[in-house]
Amino acid sequence: MVKPVITFDQEVYMPGDKVSGTVTLELTEPLKARSVFVNWWGYNRSVNVKFPSLKYHTWINDEKMLWVSKDGKTPIPAGKHVYSFSFVLPKDCPPTFKGSNGDTCYRAQAVIDIPWSLKTRVKEEFTVTKAVEEEIVSKSRNREKWFHDHLFSSGVFFSSGPIKLRIIMPHRACKFGEPLDLEFLITNNSGVAVKEIYADFFTRAHYHLCNQHTPCATFFRNNCPLNDDQQKNCSKRISTNKMKIRVEPHSEGTFTLPVVIPEKAKTASFATGLMTFGYSLLIGMKVENTLLRNEFFLTVIIGEIDDKKALEIKAKELEVSETAAPPAYEP
């Protein structure tokens, strides 16, 4: 059986890119066929959010005729035949993704229509990734540093005082595989010592039973407009980073925990009407004489970031701030 071969001009594409490819047929003898065509599609779907359920949202779906028999009898000549095709991805399409309750997939399929026989079909997937939006780069990467304060209790039933943690991050918008050193500033106003700090990376996914006009901006159930039985949340730990420390009662300590964006973080953060996917750091510390885990989640945005473009955005922001009019005089 003759099988066509599909090849693409790139390994990875971005939303809005032009996808170009070829369908190659190598025939040792003429092939009786009605036509040869290629189609392509990309979809986002949620699966079994409420069992059983399957909801699709199609981002692209089209086809192109590559060869057709003019009289229905003329075969494809023997030899090597290369047919080209191309199309443009939507600017807002999500990246390729595979999760427990949903996925995003992009495929091309070459089809040979042969008389009195089943059609020969060959499918080939292509990968789409996503860049971090300029607005997010501006807010979450171009600033000098980002910090978050959290106040913990030193006990479950009986507390000997509060413990304040300030976590400082270089930025919250990151590139794949990028180092992300975290500064822990601990003010221990309790009667027990802090013995360990940690930062675990999680994937977070929030699925919808049906497509929503406005994507959910967070993974939290109470921020979703759908009922609890029409949404589903999933998380998975993909890396653990911890450090043994010692902050005595009524003292302070500053520590740097080296963290690297895990290799398993391969899908860019994204949000559609059917799902929201991204990453979170579980930040926490352990104190002596208790099993209580003092911890909280911080969202981290991961995707493709062009450093040159990020610098251009920063330069443009500085130019705007320098040329901005001074506030009106008020006597």
State the pairing for strand pair 12-13/79-88: unpaired
Prediction pTM value: 0.84
Asked if domains 5-128 and 134-306 share a fold, the reply is yes
Class of the CATH domain delimited by 134-306: mainly beta
Given a contact cutoff of 8 angstroms between Cβ atoms, the answer to whether 314 and 305 are in contact is: no
Higher pLDDT, 323 or 63: 63
Q: How far is CA 325 from CA 70, 147, 321, in A?
A: 70, 30, 9
pLDDT (0 to 100) of residue 331: 40
With cut-offs at 50, 70 and 90, classify the pLDDT of residue 133: confident
Structure confidence at residue 317 (pLDDT): 57
pLDDT digits 0-9 by tens, 188-219: 999 999 999 999 999 999 999 999 999 999 99
Burial of 58 (0-12, 13-18, 19+ CB in 10 A): exposed
33 in Cβ contact with 76 (< 8 Å): yes
Q: Is the pLDDT of residue 105 over 50?
A: yes
The topology (CATH level 3) of 5-128 is Immunoglobulin-like (2.60.40)
Mean model confidence pLDDT for the chain:
89
The pLDDT score that the predictor gives to residue 291 is 73
Per-residue model confidence (pLDDT) at position 137: 75
Helix, strand, coil tally for the chain in percent (to 5): 10, 50, 40
Whole-number pLDDT of residue 258: 95
Q: Please report, for the chain, the start and end positions of each structural domain, with discontinuous segments joined by +.
A: 5-128, 134-306
Mean of the pLDDT values across residues 6-12?
A: 96
pLDDT of 311 over the 80 cut? no
Scanning the structure block, which residue is given the tokens 């807002």?
Answer: 92
Q: What distance in Å separates the CA atoms of residue 112 and residue 4, rounded to the nearest whole number? A: 8
Range in 9-23, 88-102, 196-210, 286-300 with the lowest mean pLDDT: 286-300
Tens digit of pLDDT for each residue in 69-90?
A: 988 888 999 999 999 999 999 9
How is residue 329 annotated by DSSP? P
pLDDT recorded at residue 183: 96
